[in-house]
Amino acid sequence: MQSNIKLKLTLLSFFQFFVWGAWLITIGTYFFSSNMGTGAQFGAIFSTLALSSLIMPPLTGIIADKWMNAEKLYGILHIGYAAILCFIPMIKDADTLYYVIFAAMLCYMPTISLSNAISYTILKNNHFDVVKVFPPIRVWGTIGFIVAMWTTNLTGSKANANQFLIAAGVAFLLGIYAFTLPACPPQRNISKEASLIEQLGLKAFALFGKYKMALFFIFSMFLGAALQLTNMYGDTFLDDFKNNPAYGPSSFVVKYSTIVMSISQVSETVFILTIPFFLKRFGIKNVMLFSMLAWVLRFGLFGLGNPSEGLWMILLSCIIYGMAFDFFNISGSLFVETTTDAGIRSSAQGLFMMMTNGVGAFMGSTVSGYLIDAYFTKEGLKDWHGIWLAFAGYALVVAILFALFFKHRHQPNEKVEVLH
């Protein structure tokens, strides 16, 4: 029975990220290869991920906490996501693409935090140790992302709209599958004397009133600005080496740019498994700081690398990505899970998603698009060396500020305090 539960959640995690990985890394290549618009327009399109994360995860978290089974809400959202993606092959201009991607993201982005909340609930209901059992399950999400990237690249879909149809087909099946999961009913423990804030499920926002949690969310926002930059521009960066006579379109890195980028996700599968050790040994502050410093290296190595003598830098950057991404996202999610009251955990996970993939990612995607157009693009060609080094400088500033201002003493034997 318990092995069956873990298998169900493993499949959930695998397909949760497959339906995103099929196009997230290659939408930039599709957009610019199709000459659909400028860097600023692409930044705006990518910012829909952030806007959706700002709006939907807190809202769906509240619904799952108070009114509707989380697994049913999750299934409905994925079916809607699949239906919307099917319209993309018919779109020929950036403005229309913006609104369709925005609609798709309104459905998809809240499912990330919902999938975490569903997994945590089912594992706890079956008496599993969440901190030990969840990371190996989450690894399969990364594997799903990798398989999707390889599928898109090897089917010749990285520069056309078929990538969205691949995602749509699998997302529809995932939506149906969600209805077969164990029930995750809402926590309706609301007394008659409860305040309007509690009745509406907004109590999680009170976490901003606690100094440590407020700082955690603020730095989640700042680092969130960096989280999607290599997803936005990584494949396009590698593909653009075809314009350099020294490498050309036949270069391995150019031809298989998406597969090269997938090394980043392979790295994730390794680093996810190390999270319990690092959390216990170093604590949440140092684990998050490691993540921020890893982002500095991720961007810096991209800025200095190339497909020949600098290939090792590109490959090392992809390996470092696992630490950069996982140490922040998974550790942050577990931090929220273990420091908030059971009645607001879905909402709290939604807040974490809102600050990272919402406010932060909107800032990063929007500003990066304008900066690239204004300072790093000449005659249609992008100065990727300058772009990546600018991103590295930003990540370094965030890391230094975090080290100075986020005060948290790690005591391995201390019980985790639950914030109500």
Q: 79-82: which pairs have CB atoms within 8 A and are 24 or more residues apart?
A: 79/171, 79/172, 79/175, 79/176, 80/107, 81/19, 81/107, 81/108, 81/111, 81/168, 81/171, 81/175, 82/19, 82/167, 82/168, 82/169, 82/171, 82/172, 82/175
Each residue's pLDDT tens digit, 294-330: 999 999 999 998 888 888 999 999 999 989 988 888 7
Q: Model's pTM, two decimal places?
A: 0.71
Minimal CA–CA distance to 268: which of 135, 139, 123?
A: 139
Each residue's pLDDT tens digit, 352-375: 877 887 788 888 888 888 888 888
Mean pLDDT over residues 125-148, rounded?
Answer: 81
Q: What is the pLDDT of residue 418?
A: 35
Residue 418 lies in a domain: no
Is the pLDDT at 376 greater than 60, yes or no?
yes
DSSP reduced 3-state for 170:
helix
Return the higher-pLDDT residue of 194 and 110.
110
Residue 192 lies in a domain: no
Cβ contacts of 149 within 8 Å, gap of 6 or more: 21, 22, 25, 26, 258, 259, 261, 262, 265
Is the pLDDT at 190 greater than 60, yes or no?
no
Q: Looking at the chain, how many residues does it have? A: 420
What's the pLDDT band for 25 if we cut at 50, 70, 90? Answer: confident
What's the pLDDT band for 348 if we cut at 50, 70, 90? Answer: confident
Residue 60 lies in a domain: yes
- Counting residues of the chain whose pLDDT is more than 90, the rounded percentage is 22
Each residue's pLDDT tens digit, 151-184: 988 888 887 888 899 999 999 999 999 889 887 7
Please report, for residues 155, 185, 364, the alpha-carbon distance to residue 50 in angstroms, rounded to integers and kept in the order given.
29, 28, 9
Return the exposure string of 4-24: e unless at least 16 CB atoms fall within 10 Å of the residue's CB, then b: ebbebbbbbbbbbbbbbbbbb
* Helix intervals (H) in 22-129: 27-33, 39-66, 70-85, 94-125
Position 37, amino acid: G
Residue 275 lies in a domain: yes
CB 15 within 8 A of CB 337: no
CATH code of the domain in which 273 resides: 1.20.1250.20
Rounded to 10 degrees, the C-alpha dihedral 31/36/39/43 comes to -70
Mean pLDDT over residues 182-194, rounded?
Answer: 60
Is the pLDDT at 105 greater than 60, yes or no?
yes
Cα separation, 366 vs 359, whole angstroms: 11
Mean pLDDT over residues 332-348, rounded?
Answer: 71
Q: What is the pLDDT of residue 187?
A: 64
Range of the domain at 179: 2-185+200-405
Residue 417 lies in a domain: no
Is the pLDDT at 390 greater than 90, yes or no?
yes
CB 164 within 8 A of CB 36: no
Q: What is the pLDDT of residue 113?
A: 77
Residue 65 lies in a domain: yes
- Mean confidence (pLDDT) of the chain: 81
- Which helix (H) or strand (E) segment is 89 a member of? none
Strands 377-378, 381-382: pairing kind: antiparallel
Q: What is the pLDDT of residue 419?
A: 34
Q: What is the pLDDT of residue 270?
A: 82
Q: How far is CA 300 from the centre of its chain?
A: 21
Is the pLDDT at 265 greater than 60, yes or no?
yes
117 burial via Cβ count (<10 Å: 0-12, 13-18, 19+):
buried
Cα separation, 278 vs 337, whole angstroms: 17
Return the higher-pLDDT residue of 283 and 166.
166
Return the higher-pLDDT residue of 199 and 125.
125
Return the higher-pLDDT residue of 348 and 16.
16
Q: What is the pLDDT of residue 57?
A: 64
Which residue is it, tokens 């529809």? 172
Mean pLDDT over residues 120-144, rounded?
Answer: 79
- Counting residues of the chain whose pLDDT is more than 70, the rounded percentage is 87
Q: How many domains does the chain have?
A: 1
Residue 66 lies in a domain: yes
Mean pLDDT over residues 100-124, rounded?
Answer: 86
